[in-house]
Amino acid sequence: MATLYSNLSKAGTRAGVGGGSQEVAVFSSYTVTANLALNDVIKMLTVPAGATITGITLSSTDLDSATALVYDVGDTADPDRHIAASTIGQAGGVTSTQALTGFGYTYTAATSIDVLVKTAPGTPVASGTINLAVWYVMPR
């Protein structure tokens, strides 16, 4: 049996001290004032070059009186890099279920994190709120 070490577990290194990075949390909110439509892109926030994503949470009020609305959360290169096919906008809710492609992903340039309306609401609700929180670390 071997003992293996991560980049932050080297002898004498404590997380957040010396070899680690401080985590940054960013929160963004969008107020919905009109019906959402298929392929709407909501630019929520921009992460800086070098940001490595460690967590993400999306919340939405009920923006579909039916059961059709689906969101993706990602960037221009990969619209569902962080959250794929979330249905929380159908009744209102919160999700922190991050896609494997997003956890630990490092951006090489400043990049907008977006919410994409992947499937339009069946019966749209024209007012509400979409919130996004993103956690990331920067290299030292």
As beta bridge partners, residue 41 has 116
Q: Is 115 helix (H, G, I), strand (E, B) or coil?
A: strand
The answer to whether the pTM exceeds 0.85 is yes
Tell me the domain boundaries of the chain.
30-137
State the pLDDT at residue 57.
Answer: 98
The pLDDT assigned to 10 comes to 52
How far apart (Å, rounded) are the C-alpha atoms in residues 119 and 67? 10
Q: Sheet holding 128-137: strands in order across?
A: 23-32, 128-137, 52-60, 93-95
Angle at CA of residue 86, ends 83 and 87, nearest 5°:
170
Model pLDDT for residues 19-28, shown as the tens digit of each residue:
456 889 999 9
82's CB contacts (< 8 A; 6+ apart) are 53, 56, 73, 74, 98, 99, 101, 102, 113
Six-digit token pair at 137? 């670390």
**What confidence score (pLDDT) does residue 107 get?**
97
Low-confidence residues of the chain, pLDDT below 70? 1-21
User: What pLDDT score was predicted for residue 22?
Assistant: 83
Q: Look at residue 9 in the predicted model and tell me its pLDDT.
A: 52
